[in-house]
């Protein structure tokens, strides 16, 4: 959609003293997970790529995400009512998602229920929890936009650390994030206080040791395939030499 009026409005209201000399393009794509969006700029145009889910939302929230992205791209910190609405929506997005028990493997659902009862008074709604790939650099991740926690399969090797990483990600769901300028901050003071309440006081040290032990573990050498003995073929000449 070239010269999209909503994109032009987002720019002009955020930067009323700037002249818009580029075309504005707004695309809605089903390729994005949740409510994700990107912005790019070429010599001729500015392109907003938004999740198709944004089409279902009010124009005010769409203007907010576009202005948020413009601030990011131009490294400005201009505030607006639309950006405030967008930030408020993103903080509460987890409340609008519904996940059934079938969305989460039973082994992870049991761990969640244990943590929910022990640390969250059994009132936290269950996010979608899934196994990701085997990773030692990213053991867990909480996606606000679709209320989903992904866990590294490496954690299958240690139940205590699995519980700790899942607890850490559930704290992201509980505390959401704070906005400072154009950046979001998740590990707030309140987050860190709750994090220390986990039953294993040295969980972080154990986690570091766990990662080190696997990261620098020498990989077993592959055995060379045994050479099969070639069967000797006999001819009549072998018997008359």
Look up the CATH number of the domain holding residue 38: 3.30.2010
Per-residue pLDDT of the chain (241 residues; tens, 9 = 90+): 445 899 999 999 999 999 999 999 999 999 887 788 999 999 999 999 999 989 988 999 999 999 999 999 999 999 999 999 998 888 777 666 667 778 899 999 999 999 999 999 999 989 999 999 999 999 999 988 788 999 999 999 999 999 999 999 999 999 887 766 656 677 889 999 999 999 999 999 999 999 999 887 655 555 666 655 555 454 444 434 4
Q: 10 Å Cβ neighbour count for 6?
A: 14
- Choose one of 93, 119, 144: the last residue of a domain: 93
Asked if 33 and 93 count as a contact pair (C-beta separation under 8 A), the reply is no
- Cβ contacts of 182 within 8 Å, gap of 6 or more: 68, 71, 72, 75, 76, 77
Structure tokens, 32: 């994005």
Which range of residues forms the domain containing residue 192? 101-215
- Residues whose CB is less than 8 angstroms from the CB of residue 97 and which lie 6 or more positions away in sequence, other chains included: 127, 128, 146, 147
Final residue of a structural domain among 36, 69, 93: 93
How many folded domains does the chain comprise? 2
Buried b (16+ CB within 10 A) or exposed e, 113-136: eebbeebbeeebebbbbeebeeee
26 occurs within a structural domain: yes
The answer on 72 and 136 residing in a single domain is: no
Is residue 232 domain-resident?
Answer: no
* pTM given for the model: 0.63
State the Cα–Cα distance between residues 214 and 62, nearest whole angstrom: 44
Distances (CA, A) of 136 to 107, 132, 144, 160, 211: 21, 12, 22, 16, 6
């Amino acid at each position: 959609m070239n010269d999209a009026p909503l994109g032009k409005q987002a720019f002009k209201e955020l930067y009323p003293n700037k002249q818009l000399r580029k075309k504005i393009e707004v695309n809605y794509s089903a390729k994005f997970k949740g409510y994700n969006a990107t912005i790019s700029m070429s010599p001729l145009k500015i392109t907003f790529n938004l999740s198709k889910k944004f089409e279902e939302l009010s124009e005010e929230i769409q203007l907010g995400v576009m202005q948020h992205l413009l601030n990011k791209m131009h490294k400005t910190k201009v505030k607006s009512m639309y950006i405030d609405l967008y930030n408020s929506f993103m903080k509460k997005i987890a409340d609008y998602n519904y996940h059934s028990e079938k969305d989460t493997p039973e082994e992870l659902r049991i761990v969640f229920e244990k943590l929910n009862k022990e640390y969250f008074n059994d009132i936290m709604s269950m996010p979608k929890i899934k196994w990701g790939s085997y990773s030692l650099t990213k053991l867990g991740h909480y996606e606000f936009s679709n209320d989903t926690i992904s866990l590294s399969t490496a954690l299958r090797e240690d139940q205590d650390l699995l519980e700790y990483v899942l607890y850490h990600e559930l704290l992201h769901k509980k505390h959401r994030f704070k906005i400072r300028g154009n950046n979001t901050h998740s590990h707030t003071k309140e987050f860190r206080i709750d994090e220390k309440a986990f039953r294993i006081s040295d969980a972080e040290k154990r986690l570091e040791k766990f990662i080190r032990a696997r990261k620098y573990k020498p990989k077993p050498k592959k055995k060379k395939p045994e050479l099969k003995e070639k069967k000797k073929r006999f001819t009549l000449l072998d018997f008359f030499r």
